[in-house]
Amino acid sequence: MAGYYNQVNTLLIVSGFINFFSRLHKTLNTSDIVRNCIERQENHFRNHRKEIEETFNFKKKTPSPVIRDEFFNLVTDFSDMLIQNYTEEGIDILENEIEELKSQSKLDLPPTLSTYIIHEKSDEIANIIVENFTTEKGRKIRYIVEYLIGRGVVKLLYGDQNKIYEAMTNSFKQNIGSKNSIFGFSINKLQDSDYKSLKEKLHYLLKTYI
C-alpha cells in the first residue's frame, strides 16, 4: 500500500503542475473544458490521497527521490520548448513556480549524502561518489565518510551516525551494511592501506571541487 500511496502522491504533483500550465491563460491556448478536466483530475488525486491517509493512517510524504528527479528532468527538458510560447509575465511565473516546487521538495525528501555535504556543489560531489562506488559497503563506506570529514565538507558530531547512515543508505540505494559495520571500528589513517587507496581515488575524482 505504501508503494501505491507513493504513486498517487506523484500523480497529484504532476497533475498540479499540468494544472498550473493550463492556467497560464496568456500563454497557452487551452479551452475551458480542458482546464476543468485537468482541475478535476488534480482534485481527484488530492481527495484520493486524503482517503488513503485516513483509511490506513498514513502520513503525507513526498514521492521517492528517483521519481522526483525524473519529474524535474522532464521539466528541464521541456523548458526551452515551452518558454518560446510564453509571454514575459508567463516566464516569470513559470520560473518562480518551478523554483518554489524544487525548494519545497528538497525540504521534504529523505536526507541523502548531499544533505550533509557543506559545499555549494554538494549535489555534484554526492553524485560522483555514488556513481563511482556502486558496490561498496561496511568499512569502505566509513572510508568515504572519513575522507569527506578530513576535507572539511562533512561535519560528524556526536549522535550524528544514525543520520549519516540513513543518508548514505538513501544515496546508494543498496545494502551498504549495518551501521555497526560502518562505524563500529577505529581507523589508522596513516597505516590503513585500503583507506589510503580509496582516499587517493576520491581525491582524483573530486579534485575539481575540494
Whether residue 210 lies inside any domain: the answer is no
98 with 172, same domain?
Answer: no
Whether residue 9 has pLDDT greater than 60: yes
92 with 24, same domain?
Answer: yes
Whether residue 32 lies inside any domain: the answer is yes
Whether residue 182 has pLDDT greater than 90: yes
Number of domains composing the chain = 2
Please tell me which residue, 202 or 44, carries the higher pLDDT value. Answer: 202
Whether residue 150 has pLDDT greater than 60: yes
C-alpha distance across the termini of the chain, in Å: 43
- How much of the chain, in percent, has pLDDT values that exceed 70? 59
Q: Which domain holds residue 67?
A: 2-109
Whether residue 177 has pLDDT greater than 80: yes
Task: Report which residue type is found at 154.
Answer: V
Other beta carbons less than 10 A from residue 77's beta carbon: 10
Tally the residues of the chain.
210
81 with 151, same domain?
Answer: no
118 with 66, same domain?
Answer: no
User: Among residues 109, 134, 152, which one ends one of the domains?
Assistant: 109
Whether residue 6 lies inside any domain: the answer is yes
17 with 77, same domain?
Answer: yes
Buried b (16+ CB within 10 A) or exposed e, 125-164: bbebbbeebeebbbbbbbbbbbbbeebebbeeeeeebeeb
Segment 140-162 mean pLDDT: 89
Please tell me which residue, 9 or 27, carries the higher pLDDT value. Answer: 9
CA distance 131 to 128: 5
Q: What is the pLDDT of residues 123-133, one digit of tens each?
A: 899 999 999 99
Q: What is the pLDDT of residues 78-110, one digit of tens each?
A: 554 454 544 455 556 556 665 665 555 554 567
Task: Report which residue type is found at 162.
Answer: N
99 with 45, same domain?
Answer: yes
Please tell me which residue, 48 or 184, carries the higher pLDDT value. Answer: 184
Q: What is the pLDDT of residues 59-81, one digit of tens each?
A: 555 444 444 555 555 555 555 44
Segment 160-178 mean pLDDT: 91
Residue entry with cell 569527506: 148
